[in-house]
Structure 1
Amino acid sequence: MITVRNAREEDIPLLVDIGVAAWAQAATGLADLSTLRENARIAFQQFLVAHWLRAIVAEQAGAVVGWAAREALDDEITDLWVDPARQRQGAGTALVAALEAEIAAAGFEAARLQTHARNDRAVGFFRNRGYGVHWLSVAYAARLDRDVESVGLRKQLVADEPLGYGPGGF
């Protein structure tokens, strides 16, 4: 069974390791991992030290198997990382559901996120949970020294109210 809880400061080293492992899996074939792995580790470390209070973790049998975050506490899911050895066991689904509940409780009508357009596993994961492609973009990434394609995904969390009066509007 998967449980979701708020991250704790002492979780940071493990969350960094999970983030790096999941990032490396997603970036395979898209970048020179040996060159960028240390940059990724530093980025995860800096993010989590500054924002661990905005992260949630998924546990399975008492072990942390993944984490997710909303960096600005708005409608955007900025991070979702599950240990590659523990993927496809419900942790990602539980984390996304928890963040969607937080987003709706904060008064937002939809959840949004972005990922690399060629990250087929992530795009498929979110599409299978009701997210649709909202935008596509290409921008130069200095760290990779090349253009990177991104995709923005969005999911409506609150049903649109009909316009007009009476049931169904008019």
Structure 2
Amino acid sequence: MISIHPAREGDAAILTAIGLRAWENATSAIGVTEELRDNARHAFGNFAQSSWQSITVAALDGAFVGWAARENFDNQISDFWIDPSYQRRGIGAVLLQDIERQIIGRGFETAKLESHAQNDQAVSFFRKHGYGVSWLSLKYSVKLDRDVQSIGLQKQLVETVRDSYGFGF
């Protein structure tokens, strides 16, 4: 059974491990050096330790299998990681639904996120769940020593109701 709950302060190690495995899977298309892997490990660890209040955990039969975060408690999904061995089991869909509920609960009408554009699995997942491309950019990554495409995705969560039609005359 899939359950969703807020992270706790002591969860950093398992969240770091899940995030790193999912990140390695997601970045396989662009290539990763050992230095980047170490940087990612430290970044995940620091984030999970210092920002655990912004993290929502997905568990399957009590075992942590994924997590998502809204680092600034706004409508930007800053992190969304499902352990690769648990992907394609509906866990991401349940987690995303809860994150979207949180965003609506904070008064936002849209959800936003970004990824590297070559992360086909993530882009496909979010598009399947109603997200559309809002921007695409190409910028040089010093760490990778190459240009990397980034993609912004957005979903309208709350229908806006207009008082009138046309130009509002």
Q: TM-score, normalised by structure 2?
A: 0.94
Residues in 1 aligned to 2:22 and 2:78: alpha-carbon distance in whole angstroms: 14
1:131-150 to 2 correspondences below 5 Å: 131-150=131-150
Q: Show the counterpart of 1:81.
A: 81
Shift of the alpha carbon at 1:162?
2.2
> Which whole-Å CA distance do the structure 1 matches of 2:95 and 2:69 have between them?
9
- State the identity as a percent: 49
User: For the residues of structure 2 that align with 1:2 and 1:72, how far apart are their CA atoms?
Assistant: 26
- 1:161 is the counterpart of 2:158: no
Q: One-letter code of the match for 2:18?
A: I
Aligned residues: 167
Residue 18 of structure 1: SS of its match in structure 2?
Answer: helix
Distance in 1, Cα, partners of 2:29 & 2:120: 12
The 2-side partners of 1:75 and 1:29 are apart by 28
State yes or no: 1:103 paired with 2:119. no
Are 1:49 and 2:56 an aligned pair? no
Q: CA deviation at 1:35?
A: 3.2
Could you say what secondary structure the match of 1:151 adopts? strand
Q: What is the rounded CA distance, in whole Å, between the counterparts of 2:134 and 2:67 in structure 1? A: 24
After superposition, residues 7-156 of structure 1 pair within 5 angstroms as 7-156=7-156
- Residue 99 of structure 2 aligns to a residue in which SS? helix
Q: Note the C-alpha offset of 1:32.
A: 2.5
Tell me the secondary structure at the aligned position of residue 158 of structure 1: coil
Distance 1:150 1:156 in 2: 20
- Contact kept in structure 2, 1:138 and 1:149, CA below 8 Å: yes
**Could you list the runs of 5+ residues in structure 1 that have no partner in the other structure?**
none
Question: 1:52-107 deviations in whole A, cap 9, x for unaligned?
Answer: 01001001111000000000111100101011111111221111111100111111
Aligned residue type for 1:4? I
CA RMSD of aligned residues (A): 1.5
AA partner of residue 103 (structure 1): I
Paired letter, 1:132: G
Cα distance, 1:145 vs structure 2: 1.8
Q: Distance in 2 between matches of 1:32 and 1:74?
A: 30
Structure 2: how far apart are the matches of 1:46 and 1:16? 9
Question: How far, CA to CA, are the matches of 1:91 and 1:85 in structure 2?
Answer: 11
Task: Output the TM-score relative to the length of structure 1.
Answer: 0.93
CA deviation after TM superposition for structure 1 residue 50, in Å = 1.5
What amino acid is aligned across from residue 41 of structure 1 in structure 2?
Answer: R
Structure 2: runs of 5 or more not aligned: none
